[in-house]
Structure 1
Amino acid sequence: MMQNALQMVAELMALSAKTAPKSLGQDYVEIKIVSGEDLNRLAEQMEQYGRKTGKVNFDRDAANVRQSAAVLLLALKENKPLGLNCGACGFSRCDELTSQEGPEFVGPLCAWRVIDLGIALGSAVKTASILNADNRVMYRAGVVARQMGLISGAIVVGVPIAAYSKNIYFDRPARS
């Protein structure tokens, strides 16, 4: 029963992300819910990535993903500048913004598109909170989900959700 409830929470989080306001009303946010075997594959790949790169806490976050009912993935599917020529990305004009693949994500990115992704993310986690589902915004889950091809986009963020007597995403030891 709890798994069904959490799947519904994930779907409602996706709805909140989808309907969140976006610049110029243009939707460049990609959304996917990962559960079941894909969830286990994501956790395994997170552990492997941490070992391969020597980056810390991928194993810790992988353990949380493995204990979760689902992970909501949000991605900026296309880095199409807004056209304001505001310079927030580091370029004077939007047509000068050229992105390239970095070690984990594409960058630089249009700041307004990243803000759109952040608003969608905030809307999703607000929904989880209202529905009493424990959640945690995870950069590491996004990195590996993108590398695995679970979702495509310039930048990806993962939000695992769970329901236990104690929130599993807190009191986690940071490793150095």
Structure 2
Amino acid sequence: MAIYSGEQATKEYLLEVTKGCAVAAAKAPTLTNSLGLRTEIVTGDDLNPIIDVLETFGQTSTFQMHDAVALKSMAEKGVLPPILLMGADLCKPVLWDCGACGFPTCGEYIKFVSRNKGLGIGAYGPSCVWKVIDFGMAADYACAAAAMHRVEARLFFSIGAVSMFLGHLEGSSFVLGLPVGPVGLNNWFDRESWVNAFNYQQRTMGQLAGGPNLSMAFSGGGYPVIKTKPNWWENPTFLKVEEDEAFVQKDAEGKAKVFEKIMRYRGAISEDE
């Protein structure tokens, strides 16, 4: 007989659940039978580069800063969960000539991709639609496996993109990250860490700027109103469309810092350079 620390036991259990999520993702039904899913589980200090790059991205991107703050807070509390990375090469078509991607044939699609495969905000493309559907089912199965064990989990585009940039799951054009845990309720939705990291005004503006369409009044009049306060119709705040050269410059400089940091982590640049 033995007495186990509940805290330690739950940490060990979360890793086992994460392994189960990887199994579930691999077992997910597919339409193409050629997804080529890749998975990897990252834990502990090996998550530090991901958090560091996310935080650097966050200097000009609110949602990535929010994710970095949450992960850092969990690390400081000693409850940083294991993260399941799932990736695949979604650019490789299944050769059905279906036209769903917008090209008349897979041959035309392949010609375009071979010359123009580009990086968007966090994934390579264009992608084969059928592969995207298959990848979505794999991700759903992983989440369902966590739910069956009463473990909170949430898919993160940001974690997946940064992981891919750092060299995880080589050969993938798209990666998602799935933190499995920590133990608790609504850790990834309530985000208590935001309260300490951002004041009320910053949190409010972060939500408004991150999803302005969710706070808009009727926009048909041509001057869309943003509901920035309870009595939003009094002294209303209007949404404007304008260029912002200062932010464009700041964003470019921020991305340069991000990619320099990525190159250092990947060993392409030495610490002396």
CA deviation string 1:18-56 (max 9, x = no partner): 1112233224211111111112221111111222xx122
When normalised by structure 2's length, the TM-score is 0.60
Cross-structure match for 2:157? 139
User: Aligned equivalents of 1:21 and 1:65: distance in 2?
Assistant: 31
Could you tell me which of 100, 105, 121 is aligned with 1:93? Answer: 105
Structure number with higher helix proportion: 2
SS at 1:87 equivalent: coil
RMSD: 1.7
Write the distance in 2 (CA, Å) between the matches of 1:45 and 1:89: 32
Corresponding residue for residue 176 of structure 2: 157
Name which of structure 1's ranges 158-167 and 146-155 shifts more when overlaid on structure 2: 158-167
The aligned residue for residue 66 of structure 2 is 60
Partner SS state of residue 168, structure 2: coil
Contact 2:58–2:66, Cα closer than 8 Å, also in 1: no
User: In structure 1, what is the Cα distance between the partners aligned to 2:63 and 2:166?
Assistant: 18
Please say if 1:84 is aligned against 2:96.
yes
What is the rounded CA distance, in whole Å, between the counterparts of 2:21 and 2:128 in structure 1?
A: 24
Would you tell me which structure has more strand in proportion to its own residues? Answer: 1
Q: Is the 8 A contact 1:39 1:65 kept in 2?
A: no
Which residue does the alignment assign to 2:147? 129
Distance 2:145 2:99 in 1: 33
Greater RCO (Cα-Cα under 8 Å, separation 6 or more): 1
Which blocks of at least 5 consecutive residues in structure 1 are unaligned? none
The alpha carbon displacement at 1:91 in A equals 0.8
Report the Cα offset of residue 78 of structure 1. 5.4
Amino acid at match of 1:74: M
Query: In the alignment, residue 65 of structure 1 is paired with which amino acid?
Result: L
Q: Answer with 65-74 or 154-163: which moved more.
A: 65-74
Higher Cα Rg, which structure? 2
CA apart distance, 1:167: 2.1
CA contact (8 A) 1:18 1:29 kept: yes
CA offsets 1:114-168 (integer angstroms, 9 cap, x no match)? 1111000000000001111111111111111111112231011111121333221
- 1:76·1:114 contact (CA, 8 Å) conserved in 2? no
Q: Counterpart in 2 of 1:43?
A: 51
* Equivalent residues, number: 174
% same residue: 29
Q: Counterpart of 1:135 in 2: which secondary structure?
A: coil
Measured against aligned partners, the alpha-carbon deviations of 1:66-114 in whole angstroms (never above 9, x if no partner) come to 4231111111135221111111111111111133122322111000111
